[in-house]
Structure 1
């Protein structure tokens, strides 16, 4: 069970400042909500030996902590102790709706980033909602109001191949074998290709980028907490994005 790797004490250590008064998500992301959601996805954090399981969970929290970070360079306890500070995009984000006959947008609803993975766009809300049996197209706000559902959307994205991309789970657990096209594009097993899956079109293949480094910083911190090596190929600076 995932709880054998991430206890409530470790969860609190990892997400040290998630309940800080400065964080808009203060009080939202609970340990029990994470465990409830994790147990609904076979294989998540339970695949392989102990080190493989730890690596997957460190990678999952590394990526999602970046997506929800409230940290800054001189933050107390360091910038990587401030994951899960946000539960939705701030300001006035757009609708994030694209024409779709399969997943049409509900009138007046917006599909901007919410939850640990910042799930966005109507098609993702539609696909995920169908998978977890929640009406996310008609009520996208559930992702920012129900912590169990919020974690479920992040784990669904993590476990599900995205278009022509492998699942983050497959990469993190060593089950993905790059094709010749992947190898030619510099996409090799490691944490960097998970970044490429999540946001490669914006962050990868452009040399050093602060966003990629931030994702790595969170991951390395969690690997240190788990007592494991982060491995090789941590960045995607020289990887071409998936088409």
Structure 2
């Protein structure tokens, strides 16, 4: 991954992440990103160089939307302000606790959005911690305190299939093709399906959506920096969301693992 995302490119992609107005100033380091990327074989290294660049642009595009500090007239444009936050903005953020025998909530702990992908809910913190190597139920705060762990939760989510959804990685690396039911639901390979995986219940199948446009704007800027074409099917305007769970749960990463 470091051959495509050098430190100078990383700093260009996330140009204003250390701006004084960004609450995550000083948190998201290049070293932490590379350590997380290296922990997941295949991430950003699958397929030809075009596929690798598009996958990395998509990863940063989606996570930048989740952590954006940009606004329409921001210096260098709204898409230069990804990774401005490491914790969900709210006063206070919600608890995001759903009754679970496998991942019961710990007393006093909140499972609101943290890190690049804003991982949320106890049923996502639990398996993320198990996969990455931390106690997601009893220590969710580590995702906002340890940058390597934070990036690892985002790459874990990116690489992990949550049926009936494919993984974001498989979509961008060319390993996923639509089934008959996918085609009937308007889902076609491309960046738009990644948005559907992440937040389809709220953003997809409803025509143009400003949140979608923000995700696409980041992706295009990052493709431009990496010198790669965008590919097709960038939006999910006409796509039905994946599965029932994607429509019933509020907030990101909705499918119960």
Q: What is the DSSP-based 3-state SS (H/G/I as helix, E as strand, rest coil) of the residue aligned with 2:42?
A: coil
Structure 2 partner of 1:10: 9
**Alignment TM-score, normalising by the size of structure 2:** 0.93
- The answer to whether the Cα contact below 8 Å between 2:47 and 2:174 also exists between their aligned partners in 1 is no
Alignment of 1:117-196 (within 5 A): 117-196=117-196
What is the CA–CA distance in structure 2 between the aligned matches of 1:158 and 1:212, rounded to whole Å?
Answer: 18
Unaligned runs of 5+ in 1: none
Alignment of 1:11-90 (within 5 A): 11-90=10-89
Alignment of 1:195-206 (within 5 A): 195-206=195-206
Residue by residue over 1:53-92, the C-alpha shift from the partner in whole angstroms, topping out at 9 and shown as x without a partner, is 1010000000000000000000000000000000011221
Unaligned runs of 5+ in 2: 244-257
What is the CA–CA distance in structure 1 between the aligned matches of 2:159 and 2:151, rounded to whole Å?
Answer: 12
Structure 1 partner of 2:246: none
Residue by residue over 1:168-227, the C-alpha shift from the partner in whole angstroms, topping out at 9 and shown as x without a partner, is 000000110111000000000000000000000010001110000000000000000011
Residue by residue over 1:18-58, the C-alpha shift from the partner in whole angstroms, topping out at 9 and shown as x without a partner, is 00000000000000000011000010011111111101000
What is the CA–CA distance in structure 2 between the aligned matches of 1:205 and 1:114, rounded to whole Å?
Answer: 27
Cα RMSD after superposing both structures = 0.5
What is the CA–CA distance in structure 2 between the aligned matches of 1:206 and 1:95, rounded to whole Å?
Answer: 28
Over 3 Å off, 4+ runs: none
**Alignment TM-score, normalising by the size of structure 1:** 0.99
